[in-house]
């Protein structure tokens, strides 16, 4: 269409000696079949050129209009806008999780992250699964999660952590290794199928190795032996219960809590929270700490209480 308009404008300028504006005006009115009037009287050569312009230009104009209508009707235009918006969202996402794999385990993980309002990006090979993820309004990339360029596209440099939940142990090992080399400080969780792959995943760089079957079996045993304890833990850790929450709150350098004992910090009095344990920055976990236990910079407090009280503590320590 651009070539037709440019050619028609140039033709009238060359044949009739018209100005650029007059030639452009004549071309547009001819191609669009508006045809108000001839800008200037045409010579025989100009009339012949106009016939050629009508034959080629009008057909091109109708063809272009048909393409535009087809794009709108079939959703192509909508898909292009969605893809551009998708790319912008990938460029802006920060402090998120990269979820590799969207199988049975991956679907549950994605749903839980979305329910808790945690940003994430899914990397999945299956195009049908990727389309379903995007339809739900989540971010997804159709690619191999073990490739470094794909991880970088998913915002690896800005990610909070990576969850390797691909179906095979070999793919998970390679994905973890690739992510660990690219981001040595990244927190990585890996799913394991076989017992012998756990050591490989840890050596590849996984911070946590989770076996869904082992956890499921252990949970069933605990439910049979200690149902009340299991109910309490599920109540405290499940995002579906808004009346109680168990969270970990990191104490950064310069926080008002740093260097204070629990009794001086007055977490119970000010925030209505119970400190279940303290994960020390130097290593180790201190369960049911005494009121005289000192809170040091870098420690993580595992607290139990109402969600709004937990958020108030997080804001107080600047997390």
Q: Would the CATH topology of 2-74 be identical to that of 93-215?
A: no
The structure's pTM equals 0.64
| Spatial contact of 247 and 271, defined as CB atoms under 8 Å apart | no
Q: Are strands 300-305 and 274-279 parallel, antiparallel or unpaired?
A: antiparallel
CATH T-level assignment (fold) for domain 2-74 = Helix Hairpins (1.10.287)
Residue 180: per-residue pLDDT:
95
Condensed to tens digits (0 to 9), the pLDDT of residues 110-120 reads 998 998 889 99
Q: Are strands 245-250 and 300-305 parallel, antiparallel or unpaired?
A: antiparallel
| Spatial contact of 214 and 225, defined as CB atoms under 8 Å apart | no
Residue pointed to by tokens 């910079």? 297
Q: How confident is the model at residue 78 (pLDDT cuts 50, 70, 90)?
A: low
Helical residues (DSSP H) of 32-165, grouped into ranges? 44-53, 59-74, 76-92, 104-115, 127-135, 148-153
Ordered by start, the domain boundaries in the chain are 2-74, 93-215, 242-317
- Looking at domain 93-215, its CATH superfamily turns out to be NAD(P)-binding Rossmann-like Domain (3.40.50.720)
Q: How confident is the model at residue 319 (pLDDT cuts 50, 70, 90)?
A: low
| Spatial contact of 163 and 109, defined as CB atoms under 8 Å apart | yes
| Spatial contact of 308 and 300, defined as CB atoms under 8 Å apart | no
Residue 241: per-residue pLDDT:
54
DSSP 145: T
Q: Which CATH class is domain 242-317?
A: alpha beta
Q: How confident is the model at residue 284 (pLDDT cuts 50, 70, 90)?
A: confident
Would you call 255 exposed, middle or buried from its count of C-beta atoms within 10 A (0-12, 13-18, 19+)?
Answer: buried
Helical residues (DSSP H) of the chain, grouped into ranges? 2-16, 20-31, 44-53, 59-74, 76-92, 104-115, 127-135, 148-153, 169-182, 197-204, 212-225, 227-237, 262-265, 267-271, 307-317
**Angle 50-56-58 (CA atoms, 0-180°, nearest 5)?**
85
Residue 252: per-residue pLDDT:
87
Residue 238: per-residue pLDDT:
65
Condensed to tens digits (0 to 9), the pLDDT of residues 210-258 reads 998 888 888 899 889 888 888 877 776 665 555 677 888 888 888 888 8
Mean pLDDT lowest for which of 3-12, 15-24, 30-39?
30-39
């Amino acid at each position: 269409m651009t070539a037709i308009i440019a050619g028609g404008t140039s033709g009238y300028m060359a044949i009739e000696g018209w100005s650029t504006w007059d030639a452009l005006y004549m071309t547009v009115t001819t191609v669009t079949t508006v045809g108000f009037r001839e800008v200037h009287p045409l010579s025989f050569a100009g009339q012949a050129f106009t016939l050629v312009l009508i034959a080629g230009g009008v057909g091109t104009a109708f063809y272009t209009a048909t393409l535009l209508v087809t794009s709108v009707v079939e959703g192509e235009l909508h898909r292009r806008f969605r893809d551009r918006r998708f790319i912008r969202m990938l460029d802006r996402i920060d402090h998120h999780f990269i979820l590799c794999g969207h199988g049975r385990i991956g679907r549950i993980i994605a749903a839980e992250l979305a329910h808790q309002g945690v940003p994430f990006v899914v990397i999945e090979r299956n195009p049908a699964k990727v389309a379903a993820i995007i339809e739900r309004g989540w971010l997804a990339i159709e690619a191999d999660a073990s490739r470094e360029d794909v991880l970088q596209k998913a915002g690896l440099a800005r990610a909070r952590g990576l969850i390797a939940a691909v179906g095979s142990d070999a793919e998970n090992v390679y994905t973890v290794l690739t992510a660990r080399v690219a981001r040595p400080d990244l927190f990585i969780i890996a799913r394991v199928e076989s017992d012998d792959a756990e050591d490989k995943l840890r050596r590849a760089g996984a911070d946590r190795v989770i076996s869904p079957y082992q956890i499921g079996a252990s949970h069933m045993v605990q439910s049979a032996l200690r149902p009340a304890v299991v109910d309490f833990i599920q109540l405290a850790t499940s995002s579906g219960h808004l009346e109680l929450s168990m969270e970990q709150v990191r104490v950064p350098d310069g926080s008002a809590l740093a260097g204070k004992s629990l009794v001086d910090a007055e977490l119970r009095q000010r925030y209505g929270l119970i400190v279940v344990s303290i994960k020390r920055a130097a290593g180790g976990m201190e369960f049911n700490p005494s009121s005289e236990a000192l809170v040091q910079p870098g420690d993580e407090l595992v607290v139990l209480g109402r969600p709004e009280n937990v958020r108030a503590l997080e804001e107080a320590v600047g997390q």
